[in-house]
Structure 1
């Protein structure tokens, strides 16, 4: 299943962000620590690199992610030019309090009365930008919700200490190139529910967990995971929890929703769906779908022989 979700307001937000980037000194990009690259919007990368703006990458929900994978991601990003990465939870004030000082290190020539530091906060939907804004300002200035795309307009706010914050709506991009990225984003609740089929997303998530964290599935649901596939996990959860439809069949939809909620809330444990190594393998093996009427390279090679 290839998931795509790009509501009209996101295109308007992209255009507005491109205009505002010119008057911005630093981009704070909020990522999901459980899937940092899948939650990294390539449009944001293009905009900031075009304007040559440094980036503070916030791996939010660090308390939900696998600490070993998160450490590898931090090292990966900190090797990149003009980038500093930190993992934290935007719900923890002590974590958020570190951000202004880190931002000043990236742009040391700003932050005076004459030249305030202008920081643009960007990221995908439902990744925690509004929570971060509220924590930085120590008051509720941005709407926070459990559904993607709550914020739809740009805000300009003053943090004090000669720092200006520009909050932007959560943006995805017009075409999610890697199908697994769309599924990881859907599992992590960055995509609207109307654009996904929960059973398919949960089955994908279960397959990932069987490979990476079978012990967490076993501990949470009392499953013997050996030989199972993703669909089998959903069926087993329905059976273990007694989820039945009126006719007596197992309620797989409710079981799928339960698995997704347990992952999103951290009830399953600390989980990362990708690592720098798995990302490298994905990119190395990826072959884009051919356009209509355009054969795959392998087929062209066969035709030549």
Structure 2
């Protein structure tokens, strides 16, 4: 019983120490690992198990060893941040696998990568023909990133010469049926505004599983009852339709009047409104 208690106590201490040391090493230790970080992670885990279960040895010696390993890893990461030569030595550099649509066989052999494995990685990037790939590189992490040839790249607003407004992250204001005051204050909305918007949809806060306000002040909600579909906000669409109607009305007034000064005024207003609608269209129609 005494040994069981000691194992439990040692394990608890190991977990706490390991958590603190891992936090010091940063998030990279739990994302993409380099070869050195992979070895460090395995060793640290083995040392933690040793501290927990080896009752014949002094447990604090394991903590010393664990601290040394973490210190070495921390120093190595610091050197990698400061020196590109150290980064290249520890993490190595990327290897070009395809260039100008041609597979570089020697580099495949260097990375011990088979043709089947290369094609599998290309298919994961939605490239089913190697000839469609302008450039492919194997990163130090082992991932393969590709650049499609220009004719195979997805069409974007930039290709079409269309200007779009910058996207801002939406704020989650309702979670698990509860209103969140901090994100509401951050974007300048109140509980009353949210409740008014929910009333328009025939909902209360208790009905909402998740609610977000986007950069244009529109509230999107997901309710607990998955069988009910909540309509998306239509404010931007309604505003665009109203502006187009105003544009048509002003143009009509300008064509129907016989007063030259009034005609010039309507034409001027119509040009300004048309320009404004053109500038707002990327925002109102997204």
Which bracket does the TM-score occupy, shorter chain normalised?
under 0.3
Q: Which has the higher contact order (CA 8 A, sep 6+)?
A: 1
Q: What TM-score, normalized by structure 1, do the two folds share?
A: 0.19
Q: What TM-score, normalized by structure 2, do the two folds share?
A: 0.19
Larger radius of gyration: 2
